[in-house]
Amino acid sequence: MKNLKFFSVIAASAMLISSCSTVPLTGRSQLSLVDDQSLQQEANGAYRAFLNDPSTKVVRSGADAQRVKNVGAKIASAINRYMQANGYGAKYNYQYEFNLVESKDINAWCMPGGKVAVFTGLLPVTRDDTGLATVMGHEIAHAIAQHAAERMSQMTAAQVGGEVVGAAAGGRSEGTQQVIGQLYGVGGQLALLNYSRKQETEADRLGLVFMAMAGYNPDNAVLFWERMASAKQGGGAPPEFLSTHPSDATRIAEIKRHLPEARKYYKK
């Protein structure tokens, strides 16, 4: 039995070491026990359920709704061109969707596979297309970096039992359904995925590049995050959008540090 346990540990360790992928642009190695394609399918179902929920008020028309779709489409198109030009193939050929949702919450999110929601409460802070591009670039970056799959992989690796690891590695439907329930919570509102601070910083960096690729000046991202800091201070408790994120000073300092990289992709 001791030998069996020993070899089980060795086998599990080998799986963890071999089950890694690389984040585009940043080159960071991440744990990848979960099939992101399966996760995308479950996320698509959760997104449909959210939009069709009677308590969800999707803004179907008007200048703001069109702005969300236009800015989102420009960023998605720029990302697709970059991925194709750099040999990433069909892995990141997401079926993007962008919707504006009536809510006072200062919030936005992107599910695996590119399903995006922006809440109207965020628009006074974004103010213009560049501010909106800052937010959407950041949120889409979470999907491109496959942070949800990484989080589930980390959760799986932390659990004891080869069957759990095997289920996640095999990409079984019940595994992906479980993580969608754990991470998002389908209903009138979707909970913000609790990413790690490392993932948030990576999404900021990628988001700057993505907005620059789409023709939005990445230097203006600093102005947006300064406005977000003011909105948080004025409202007392942190907005949900910032609840698990780095401190304002840290975030803005890191964004400034990565601006030279993003500027390389910006064409006026």
Q: What does the pLDDT look like over 144-171, one tens digit per residue? A: 998 888 877 766 665 544 444 444 444 4
Domain annotation covers residue 153: yes
Domain annotation covers residue 223: yes
Measure the CA–CA gap between 243 and 226, rounded to whole angstroms: 16
CA 165 to chain CA mean position, Å: 24
Which structural domain range is residue 45 located in? 2-263
pLDDT of residue 5 exceeding 70: no
In which band, very low, low, confident or very high, does the pLDDT at 18 lie, cut at 50, 70 and 90?
Answer: very low
pTM: 0.79
pLDDT tens by residue, 101-118: 999 999 899 999 999 999
Higher pLDDT, 159 or 220: 220
pLDDT of residue 186 exceeding 90: no
Q: Total structural domains in the chain?
A: 1
Domain annotation covers residue 149: yes
101 with 119: CB under 8 angstroms?
yes
CA angle 54, 59, 60 (to 5 degrees): 105
Domain annotation covers residue 82: yes
Domain annotation covers residue 57: yes
Six-digit token pair at 240? 């949900």
Q: How many CB atoms within 10 Å of residue 171?
A: 17
> Is 226 known to be catalytic?
no
In which band, very low, low, confident or very high, does the pLDDT at 61 lie, cut at 50, 70 and 90?
Answer: very high
Predicted pLDDT of residue 240: 44
Domain annotation covers residue 268: no
Domain annotation covers residue 72: yes
Is beta strand 115-119 parallel, antiparallel or unpaired with respect to 97-101?
parallel
Higher pLDDT, 235 or 5: 235
Predicted pLDDT of residue 230: 87
Higher pLDDT, 190 or 132: 132
Measure the CA–CA gap between 197 and 195, rounded to whole angstroms: 7
Domain annotation covers residue 79: yes
Which DSSP category does 256 fall into? H
- The active-site residue, picked from 42, 97, 139, 150, is 139
**Where is average pLDDT lowest: 66-75, 77-86, 109-118, 233-242?**
233-242
CA 48 to chain CA mean position, Å: 18
